[in-house]
A and B are shown apart, each in its own frame.
Chain A
Amino acid sequence: MDVLNLAHGSFYMVGAYIAYSVVVATNSFWLALLVAPVLLALLGAALEVVFFRRLYRHGHLAQVLLTFGFTLVFVDLIRSQFGPTTRSIAPPPGLGGAVELFGATFSAYSLFILGVAIGVGALLLLGWRFLRVGAVLRAGVEDKEMAGLLGINLPTVFTLTFAFGAGLAGLAGVVAAPEFAIYPGMDASVLILALVVVVVGGLGSIEGAIVGSALIGLGYVIGTSLFPQFAIGLIFAVMAAVLIVRPSGLLGRRS
């Protein structure tokens, strides 16, 4: 969509907190997995219609500033509702154990995360390539005016896409909740990682984001085992190296 949203990490955080609330109230992780993305998509749609829509023509800087304002608001709202302490929830029943696979032991929940990631990735890739919505979006980013002249209702498409992105961020938050800690500030850490991944992979390329996350994830794990203190540094070193060779990312279009 060519929108830079610093509040995307906030959607992830809110998703995790919704999961926490739902699990505490109903003890059902699967309900949370259903509810959080829907709520986040609604929130995303509302924000897009009320705020973001006005800013598309003002360029990225205005978007950065607006969405930074929202990160402040969201983290403060979360803190006022849930306090500054770290929360956690248990994996859903049946996924709490360990699984033997290819002679190695994995936690069942990790495999579940892997499955969700592959599913979402495949859905996005195929949708972007082959679905009408994907084609419309590509056209809209490429040339807004032309797409509009061809009879595409771009504002609606953009709202739906933004809502879909927010919903996915919420889904990621729910899926991450049993695995990682839930705390105000989790938005920033995931946001920075996501930005690095996207920059390494190349903006506007879903394949790039997948390749980028694999590369950064591997880099992080290897870095953590080799020299734990500077694992974060290694991630950024990978990013710097990629950008020196290819300034627009691994699979990004050359600008």
Chain B
Amino acid sequence: MTLGRAASARYAAFLGTLAIGLATIPLWAPRFWIYIATQALIFAIFAMSLDLLLGYAGLPSLGHAAFFGVGAYACALLALRQVDGLFPLLLVGAVAAAIVAVPIGALSLRTTGIYFLMLTLAFGQMLWGLAVNWVSLTRGTDGLIGIPRPTLVGLDAFEISLYERGAFFILCLIVAIVTFALLQMLARSPFGKTLEGIRENERRMRALGFPTVRYRFAAFVTAAAVAGIAGALAAMSNGYATPDLLYWTVSGLALVAVVVGGARSLIGPVLGAFVVLFAQLGLSTYLERWELILGAIFIAFVLFVPGGLVGLVRRA
């Protein structure tokens, strides 16, 4: 998005306030709400990666949860084999997801639009089936349990442990901010502009000499890698990895987050992720029928607020 100088100053101020506001959560929020906010941040990273695909590249994936799950399982498998260290574990989540994304992307990107959506859905469900059935590796529906959280080199000296909710929340916040910054840079780079050009008019971009499929492929694998990082964080946060992480409704909820928040803005999906997670975890403690409410919120947004939350702010 392009903004005037005053508007971008306001936007930067908003981002700063949001980041600082979030950073204070461990100081005042009850334990349970810190947990929900942590889950929301992880989901926000996941939703931002989907926004790169949906908003910028115009690729509606309904199988993105597969990469989230692959990242979680990769991190879990390694952590259970006594591999310690935050960066190796996050990295392995990203790399594993990217590797899986290579064949899936190569096949799915032969199509666009509705076919792409169905193909990614089918591949996602295929990986979900694999996670359920490949019992020797994944322990099936029981999942991998007892995943330890890594220790952070240097922080042990201050006796800060990632097992503390506050510390882990701050870690997720830092990863989310870094992800946001990197994706923002990517979106504003020539690469991002080319992606948007391809989304708007692929034929013209191809005529201009851009290898459009290769650009889309790069976006697909990048988005998968970011989703893998989110998955690795989810595995550390929960202490388990189960096939549920790969189920297609998780992909659907991520689409919800992107659209409710506002696609093609990166910050929209973050807001959307908080809405979804508060509806899912927050409401479910007070109300039994949270899915119904979330579905209704969602239907209302699609019908009446096409630009999402970000669109509302922009119009105001």
Q: A interface vs B, CB < 8 Å?
A: 4, 6, 51, 54-55, 58, 60-62, 64-66, 68-73, 75-77, 80, 188, 192, 195-196, 198-199, 203, 229-230, 232-233, 236, 239-240, 243-244, 247-248
Give Cα A230 to B127, complex, Å. Answer: 11
- In Å, the complex CA distance between A233 and B58 comes to 28
Query: Chain B: interface secondary structure?
Result: helix
Measured CA separation A62–B125 after assembly (Å): 22
Using A51-B303, A60-B60, A232-B129 as known contacts, say yes or no to A248 and B255 having CB atoms under 8 A apart. Answer: no
A69 and B118 contact, CB distance less than 8 A: no
Known: A55-B303, A199-B122, A230-B133. 16 other contacts (CB 8 A): A4-B117, A68-B252, A68-B298, A69-B299, A73-B292, A73-B295, A77-B292, A188-B249, A192-B122, A195-B122, A199-B118, A203-B115, A229-B133, A229-B135, A236-B122, A243-B107
A195 to B121, CA, bound (A): 9
- Expressed in whole angstroms, the minimum distance between the Cβ of B250 and any Cβ of chain A is 12
**Chain B neighbourhood of A66, CB < 8 A:** 298-299, 302-303
Check if A233 sits within 8 Å of B298, measured CB to CB.
Answer: no
Q: List 12 A-B contacts (CB under 8 A).
A: A4-B117, A60-B114, A61-B60, A64-B60, A64-B117, A77-B292, A192-B122, A199-B118, A203-B115, A233-B129, A240-B107, A247-B115
> How big is the B interface, by class?
35 or more
Roughly how many angstroms separate A75 CA and B111 CA in the complex, as a whole number?
Answer: 31
Chain A neighbourhood of B129, CB < 8 A = 230, 232-233, 236
B121 near A76: Cβ-Cβ < 8 Å = no
Residue numbers in A under 8 Å from B277 (CB-CB): none
Which of A54, A62, A76, A192 is in CB contact (< 8 Å) with B291?
A76
Chain A residue with Cβ nearest B123: A236
By a CB distance below 8 angstroms, the chain A residues around B54 are 61
Does B36 lie at the interface of the complex (its beta carbon under 8 Å from any beta carbon of A)?
Answer: no
Q: Cβ of A6: which chain B residues have Cβ within 8 Å of it?
A: 252
Contact string against A for B residues 102-120, beta-carbon threshold 8 Å, 1 for contact and 0 otherwise: 0000010011011101110
A71 and B295 contacting across the interface, CB-CB below 8 Å: yes
Assuming the contacts A70-B299, A80-B288, A188-B248, asked whether A239 and B255 have C-beta atoms less than 8 A apart, the reply is no
Q: Name B133's contact: one of A4, A76, A192, A232 (CB within 8 Å).
A: A232
* With known contacts A4-B117, A199-B118, A243–B296 Cβ distance under 8 A: no
CB distance from B48 to the nearest CB of A (A): 18
Interface of A is mostly: helix
Q: How far is the CA of A70 from the CA of B256 in the complex (A)?
A: 12
Q: Give the CA-CA distance A51 to B302 in the complex, in Å.
A: 10
The closest CB in chain B to the CB of A50 belongs to B303
Q: Which of B60, B107, B133, B298 contacts A72 (CB 8 A)?
A: B298
In the complex, the answer to whether B115 meets A72 with C-beta atoms within 8 Å is no
A193 vs B243: C-alpha distance when bound (angstroms): 19
Cβ contact within 8 Å between A192 and B123: no
Given the interface pairs A73-B292, A75-B291, the reply to whether A65 lies near B118 with Cβ below 8 Å is no
Q: Whole-angstrom distance between the alpha carbons of A199 and B108 in the complex?
A: 12
Q: Considering the chains assembled together, what is the distance between the CA atoms of A58 and B259 in angstroms?
A: 14
Chain B residue numbers with a CB within 8 Å of A244 are: 107, 110
A72-B276 Cα distance, complex, nearest whole Å = 13
Closest B residue to A72 by beta carbon equals B295
In the complex, what residues of A have CB within 8 A of residue B248's CB? 188, 192
Nearest Cβ distance between residue A243 and chain B, in whole angstroms? 7
Expressed in whole angstroms, the minimum distance between the Cβ of B110 and any Cβ of chain A is: 5
Q: Which residues on A sit within 8 Å (CB–CB) of B312?
A: none
Residue of A nearest to B111 (CB): A247
CB pair A236 B118 closer than 8 Å: no
Asked if B91 is at the interface (CB within 8 A of a chain A CB), the reply is no
User: What A residues does B170 contact at CB under 8 A?
Assistant: none
A236 cross-chain contacts in B, Cβ below 8 A: 122-123, 125-126, 129
Beta-carbon contact of B107 and A69 below 8 Å: no
Q: Which residues of B contact A248 (CB under 8 A)?
A: 115
Residue contact A69 to B302, C-beta cutoff 8 Å? yes
Expressed in whole angstroms, the Cα–Cα distance for A65 and B54 within the complex equals: 13
Is B76 an interface residue when CB atoms closer than 8 A count as contact? no
Q: Which residues of B contact A188 (CB under 8 A)?
A: 248-249
**Are A199's CB and B295's CB within 8 A?**
no
